[in-house]
């Protein structure tokens, strides 16, 4: 069929997880709960960092940016899915699908880059502690975040423009709960060779590159920690990067697990279910990991809730 004979696409259908009516309230309640916990938890991290001057350091600056990105990352997919379940309407417009895909890749890429920047921050703090304040100055921190934003935005724009050149036929059902790039490329009737090449090249460059940077940073960190003579010193050094290491393991472990399992099983519905791990569960768990394993965050949150409780008691009296 010639591309000129194809009609313009106006909308897609997001099939989600299950079409069983009995399961829809359960899915709605589960995802609404996870979304609210994600937003509230990450907002508390941002509030704690911005409200306490002792937390105005590079590590917490990057952490507050990661929390903001996690809120936006989850907000690109979950609210639309909740609306579709509530209205019993699986339709998403063509423009809405492209927009959702753009912002999903933007914030997903930012998550990736910020975790890499945070690994570099821990590397400098442990391997070059005497020069930490000089190296990780406010200008460099702002520049690292800005470069992360620009790189993610350009990548998302490139993928979106390449997708806009494709034509689609009659099968417009996306077996996912959001407009995922790979699923949309598979629905196209026109030649997708360029899209696939760019997609795989970018996955290696922007996925493998940051991961290699994180692994290199932690290899140096481990070497530096092993050189510390006292056990207490080793524990203190390791505790400063334990939370970040946990988040990195969760993010990359779930992401790689999803794509490796989907490539092995070729099941779209199982891929959609597995992708919940890095699109919803990981952003929800990040605030808990950082707050439970970080004394400074716990101290600020306790102070904040203590002040809120005191004000509430005064008002009641």
131-176 pLDDT, tens digit each: 999 999 999 999 999 999 999 999 999 999 999 999 887 778 888 8
Nearest by Cα to 181 from 171, 192, 169: 192
Rounded CA separation 145/141 (Å): 6
User: How many CB atoms are closer than 10 A to CB 26?
Assistant: 11
Task: Tally DSSP H helices, then E strands, for the chain.
Answer: 13, 3
Confidence (pLDDT) at 8: 58
Taking the domains of the chain in order of start, what are their residue ranges?
A: 8-316
Confidence (pLDDT) at 298: 77
Rounded CA separation 285/246 (Å): 10
b/e for 168-197, b at 16 or more Cβ within 10 A? beeebebbbbbbbbebbbebbeeebeebee
Residues of the chain with pLDDT under 50: 1-7, 313-317
Q: Which residue has the tokens 């800005």?
A: 146
* Averaged pLDDT score across all residues of the chain: 85
Confidence (pLDDT) at 21: 77
Question: CATH assignment of 8-316, given 3.40.1280.10, 2.40.10.500, 1.20.1070.10, 3.10.150.10?
Answer: 1.20.1070.10
Non-local (6+) Cβ contacts of 136 within 8 A are 58, 121, 124, 125
Confidence (pLDDT) at 234: 82
**Which pTM does this prediction carry?**
0.89
The dihedral formed by the CA atoms of 225, 226, 228 and 231, expressed in degrees to the nearest 10: 90
């Amino acid at each position: 069929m010639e591309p000129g004979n194809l009609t313009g696409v106006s909308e897609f259908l997001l099939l989600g997880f299950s079409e069983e009516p009995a399961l829809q309230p359960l899915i709605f309640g589960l995802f609404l709960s996870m979304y609210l916990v994600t937003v509230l938890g990450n907002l508390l991290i941002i509030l704690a960092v911005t409200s306490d001057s002792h937390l105005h350091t590079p590590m917490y600056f990057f952490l507050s940016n990661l929390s903001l990105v996690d809120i936006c990352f989850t907000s690109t997919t979950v609210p639309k899915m909740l609306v579709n379940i509530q209205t019993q309407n699986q339709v998403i417009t063509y423009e809405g699908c492209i927009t959702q895909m753009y912002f999903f890749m933007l914030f997903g890429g930012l998550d990736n880059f910020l975790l890499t920047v945070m690994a570099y921050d821990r590397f400098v703090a442990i391997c070059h502690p005497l020069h930490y304040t000089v190296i990780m100055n406010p200008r460099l921190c702002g520049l690292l975040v800005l470069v992360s934003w620009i790189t993610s935005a350009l990548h998302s724009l490139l993928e979106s423009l390449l997708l806009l050149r494709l034509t689609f036929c009659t099968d417009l059902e996306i077996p996912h709960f959001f407009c995922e790039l790979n699923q949309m490329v598979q629905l196209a009737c026109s030649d997708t060779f360029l899209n696939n090449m760019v997609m795989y090249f970018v996955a290696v460059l922007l996925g493998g590159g940051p991961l290699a940077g994180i692994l290199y940073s932690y290899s140096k960190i481990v070497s530096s920690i092993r050189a510390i003579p006292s056990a207490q010193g080793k524990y203190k050094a390791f505790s400063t990067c334990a939370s970040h290491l946990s988040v990195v393991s969760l993010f990359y472990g779930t992401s790689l697990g999803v794509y490796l399992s989907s490539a092995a099983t070729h099941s779209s519905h199982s891929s959609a279910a597995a992708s919940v791990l890095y699109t919803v569960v990981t952003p929800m768990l990040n605030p808990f990991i950082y707050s439970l394993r970080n004394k400074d965050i716990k101290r600020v949150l306790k102070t904040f809730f203590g002040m809120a409780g005191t004000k509430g008691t005064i008002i009641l009296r």
